[in-house]
Every structure is written in structure tokens, then in C-alpha cells.
Amino acid sequence: MAGIEFVPDEHGGVTVMRDGHPQSHVDVADPEHLVFEYVQHMAAAIDATFPGPDPIGVTHVGGAGLTLPRWVQATRPGSPQIVLEPDERLTAAVREELPLPRGHRIRVRPQLGRAGVAALKDASAHVVLVDAFDEGRVPADLQTVEFFAEVARVLRPDGFLAMNCPDEPGWRHVKDVVAGLLAVFGTFRGLTADGLRTSTNGEGVALVAMRDVMKGRRYGNTLLLASHRPIDADELRRQVGRWPFPSGVLAGAALTRRTNGGTPITDGDSRPSPVAPDPGTWRAR
């Protein structure tokens, strides 16, 4: 099918390509086999927050090969999942080439992410995962404070947002996106052993990235997490450490220091994520 390719590899999986960009890696026989590092980081964030195997409600903004919906179904059977994927042609091709497992509750809606999230009910999702690209860049309208406010409305009190946010060394774009997340999720009130507490130090926001990306050595993916409640950074580090890519976690004050100087992005000044460098010869690891 023009523009869509399914490229098998030596790992027993298939990489879904759209217009020359790798979208997903899928192993139908083993849905717990995750290849892309940021997808592993998303799985680690879910494991750190909702250990399973109880079902959880997940909304995916961006579908492609439906890699994470398959993983959620394998690790938390019966989880109700909504996938917002506007490319109906891609979804049809994926369903034909890479069938979904029996008994799944994965529902793909042919909607853009922003409109699809706006149509969801309040407190209807444990997790909202944003992994959406248009010509290799995260769409502008999925990185604004207005969008994050919609996600905050859709999330349950114990839920979290996870979004893939690629950037160049220096994190100029990531800093602004983090500032937007802090504006929406950075202050919360909750009961502790000492009574009602208000937090403004960014405990509800965290970042996960491979160490060379964390050190600013190259363009790469960062996974940004945001929650209505403090993120357990220690448990997140333990779960991230179970996967093979050397990765790090920034949370709380450490994250706010590293991303100091960012300005929240609004709908009026939104922009897509930076253009990725030419990958040359890519290879699924």
C-alpha cells in the first residue's frame, strides 16, 4: 500500500513505516516484546503506577501499529482502551497485516487527538498516552496548556499522562512543554499523614530518557509524565531499569532545575516538535 510498509526484522517483529518514517514495531507472537526505547519507558511508567494485572482504562493518542494497546491487553487483560488514530487507511492495513489478539477491548476511533480527547468523559482514563506524529513531528496542538487541561479533565485522580516529546540537545522545546505541564499539573492538594498539603515543587511531573539524550549528546525522545498526584520517582527508576536501554529519570526539583527557563506553549503560539535529523540507515534494536 502506497506510503505504508511493513518491514520484518531478525527479532521476529515488524516495523510499520509510513511515508518513510518508522511508526511502530510490532511482535504479534509476543506483544510484550517492545523495541523502541520510549515505548519501553511508557510501559515502565504504567508498571510503576498500576502494577497489574487488573484492567485499566487507557486512551492512546496516536495508534500506528497499536504496539502499546497490544502490550496493555497482554499484561492487563480486558483493559478498555480507546485509540485515537485519524489515518483510517493505516489502521485498516495494520489490522490486516498484524491482527489484534482475540478478546481485546481496543477501540480505534478515526479522530485527531485533540478533538478525540475533548470528546472523552471526565475522569474516564487511568492513563493517557500521547505518541502522535505528523511527518515525523509531534503535532503543535498536542503540546499546549489548553490540551494538557483537557487531559487533566479526562484523567482519574490517580491517573497520569505520558507523552513522547523528542527534542534536540539543549531541550529548548522540552523546557517549554515541561513548563506547560507544570502550569497544569504542578500544583495539587492532597492528604498526607500530617494533614492537607499543597505542593508546588513539580512532584507531579517527571521525565525519562536514554542517558545520552539526558546528557544532551544527541537529538532523541524524552518521555514526559504528568499526574494529579506525586509521581513515585524511585519506583519509576526501578521499572525503567528493568529494560535494556541505559536510561535516567528526572523528577521534582531536579527536573524543574534542568528545565528552568521554559515558557508554557499556548494554542496561540503553538508549534510542532523539532525536525528529526536524517536517520540514514535505521535499524530496529
Residues 83-124 have pLDDT tens digits of 999 999 999 999 999 999 999 999 999 999 999 999 999 999
Helix H segments across the chain?
A: 37-49, 67-75, 88-97, 113-118, 145-154, 172-185, 211-214, 233-240, 252-258
* pLDDT value, residue 281: 41
C-alpha distance from residue 116 to each of 26, 89, 209 (Å) = 24, 18, 27
Alpha-carbon torsion (50, 87, 12, 136), positive or negative: negative
Residues of the chain with pLDDT under 70: 1-2, 187-201, 278-285
242: burial class by Cβ within 10 Å (0-12, 13-18, 19+)? Answer: exposed
> Could you tell me which residues come within 8 angstroms of residue 56 by beta carbon, excluding any fewer than 6 positions away?
46, 50, 72, 76, 79, 126, 127
Note the pTM of the prediction, 2 decimals. Answer: 0.91
| Residues forming beta bridges with residue 14, ordered by sequence position | 8, 26
Q: Are 176 and 189 in contact (CB under 8 A)?
A: no
Domains along the chain with CATH numbers:
4-187+216-269 (3.40.50.150)
Could you say which DSSP state residue 168 is in? -
Total residues belonging to the chain: 285
Residues 183-217 have pLDDT tens digits of 999 765 455 555 544 455 579 999 999 999 999 88
* pLDDT value, residue 188: 55
192: burial class by Cβ within 10 Å (0-12, 13-18, 19+)? Answer: exposed
